[in-house]
Amino acid sequence: MDFTHLDDSRKPRMVDVSGKKPTERIATAECYVHLGLELIDRLNKNDWSSSKGPIFETAIIAGTLAAKKTADLIPFCHPLPLKDVKIDISQSDESKIRISARVKVLDQTGVEMEALTAVSVAALTIYDMCKSISHSISIESCRLVSKSGGKSDFRE
């Protein structure tokens, strides 16, 4: 299989999806942010707020905006009329949080990049809001969990 974003002369290009039938396409991505025990404990005591505001709510808004702006950030992504973006953030264990995004569109191309962009920017927002307390925060395992509605479905 060849890379779809290269033409026959190996020059970069946007994929032409004009011949595809619009279908409902859904993608889910996830990302983990390792905050550490001390920071998690501190944030739990402060109801997950910092001097910059409510951390999870701000990250959800940032991730949603990022999903809508993906075509402005990734050169060959098509601008898409997203129908739904759902972001969930929860503590996954004693030192990490999990961010998941589910993105839906009715279009000729998928929304994997929108879901991945949403969790990435939500994670970066959490980092930004917590960096005054700790710089040992790490963003880990950003990945596509599932996609459906296109030529081939995927589920990890």
Task: Kindly list the catalytic residues.
Answer: 128
Residue 5's CB is within 10 A of a number of other CB atoms, namely 12
Could you give the angle at the alpha carbon of 76 between the alpha carbons of 72 and 82, nearest 5°? 55
Distance CA 84, CA 78 (A): 16
- CB 146, CB 103: distance < 8 Å: no
Distance CA 87, CA 104 (A): 12
- CB 121, CB 3: distance < 8 Å: no
Buried b vs exposed e over 92-129: b needs ≥16 C-beta within 10 Å? eeebbbbbbbbbbbebbbbbbbbbbbbbbbbbbbbbbb
